[in-house]
Amino acid sequence: MDRKAWLGSALLACGLSTPCLPLPAADGPPRFSVAAPGGKVTFVVYGDTRFTRRESADAAARRALVAGIARESPAAIFIGGDLIDRGDDPDDYATYANETADWSRRKIPVFPALGNHEFTDCRPSREDSPCLENWWSTFGALRPWRWYSVAIGDSLLAIVLDSDAPLRPGSAQRTWLERQISAADTDPRLRFILVLLHYPPVRDPIFPRGRDEEQVQRYLSAAAPGLRARVIVVGSHVHNYERFERDGVVYLVSGGGGAKPRPVLRMSGELSQLPTPVNFHYLRMTLAGDRLEATMVRFEANAAGGDPWSEPDGFEIRSR
């Protein structure tokens, strides 16, 4: 196994008691790799899990989703921020480690993005904050970086961003993002680019903007039509599920990981048109050659005797 592949597999064991090897800072943000034997692989994306012992989340729904994901045996799990409730509290990260112990036993790598709750009572601009220290202590292979990338086989590149760091043109993160996408565009094997960040660039208009996520949409609206690869963007923050398409880019909101639900209006071209206001869920994504199949797997927390699991939305993206 090459060094980058080893680092990718190391993330799966990044519990509070297990150290992970960081990539030297001189090499820039790390890139991890996940194998896709035969060009086919299934992975999971979702966010707003809010691992905590406080009552700020539905712990039963959160644990059901964790167990459901474990049964999927995905090749990787991407979490789009708000992994925990309070980033300044190491006990929340201990709750995450305890409740996801089955993921670790199954050796499923976890790739998290930073969300606003990772910075509770901390300034996002402070690299020496206790909040970042708790995050890096849990996911040691990421230290000292706040954004990074993951190669899924040869045909998909996942770019994990930090919504609370600048994404305006000329910023360090934006410059890195543009370089990642430009380099990916030179690889004829690459068919899909997945961008993961906490604040969704496209979402129900009743929710205010977070920081610079609108800048990401503007950049992709200009760049995506000319790229070889199809682009999919997954945000969280809104505690529900939404699906949009803008300028050839698919935008998803996957914030149903356990945080208290928020209803959405399903206006402005929202495509799923789900009738359910509460949508605890995760996204199952299957990469198969020139196709990326996505399924919203929903858990009904108040199911009375029936099957609490359903798959009310799904779609397929084909490569160019």
Give the model's pLDDT for residue 22: 37
Q: Residue 297: left (phi > 0), alpha (psi -120 to 50), or beta? A: beta
Report yes or no: 136 and 59 within 8 Å, Cβ to Cβ. Answer: no
Pick the range with the lowest mean pLDDT from 13-17, 121-125, 168-172, 185-189: 13-17
38 band by pLDDT with thresholds 50, 70 and 90: confident
Give the model's pLDDT for residue 200: 97
Quick check: 228 pLDDT over 80? Answer: yes
Quick check: 6 pLDDT over 80? Answer: no
Q: Work out whether the CA dihedral 12, 14, 18, 20 comes out positive or negative.
A: positive
Quick check: 17 pLDDT over 50? Answer: no
Pick the range with the lowest mean pLDDT from 2-6, 105-109, 185-189: 2-6
Give the model's pLDDT for residue 255: 98
Where do the domains of the chain lie? 3-15+30-318
Quick check: 20 pLDDT over 80? Answer: no
pLDDT digits (tens, 9 = 90+) for 188-225: 999 999 999 999 999 998 888 888 999 999 999 999 99
Quick check: 187 pLDDT over 90? Answer: yes
Question: Which residues, 6+ apart, have CB-to-CB distance to 68 below 8 Å?
Answer: 282, 297, 299, 309
Percentage of the chain surpassing pLDDT 90? 82
Helix (H) or strand (E) holding 265: none
Average pLDDT, the chain: 91
80 band by pLDDT with thresholds 50, 70 and 90: very high
**Tokens 């979702």 sit at which residue?**
46
State pTM to two decimals: 0.92
Average pLDDT estimate for 82-104 = 97
Q: Which two tokens stand for residue 29?
A: 């943000």
Query: Structurally, what CATH architecture does the domain formed by 3-15+30-318 represent?
Result: 4-Layer Sandwich (3.60)
Instruction: Give the burial string for 22-58 (b: 16+ CB within 10 Å, else e).
Output: bbeeeeebbbbbbebeeeebbbbbbbbbbbbeeeebb
127 band by pLDDT with thresholds 50, 70 and 90: confident
Helix axes 59-72, 90-99, angle to 10 degrees: 50
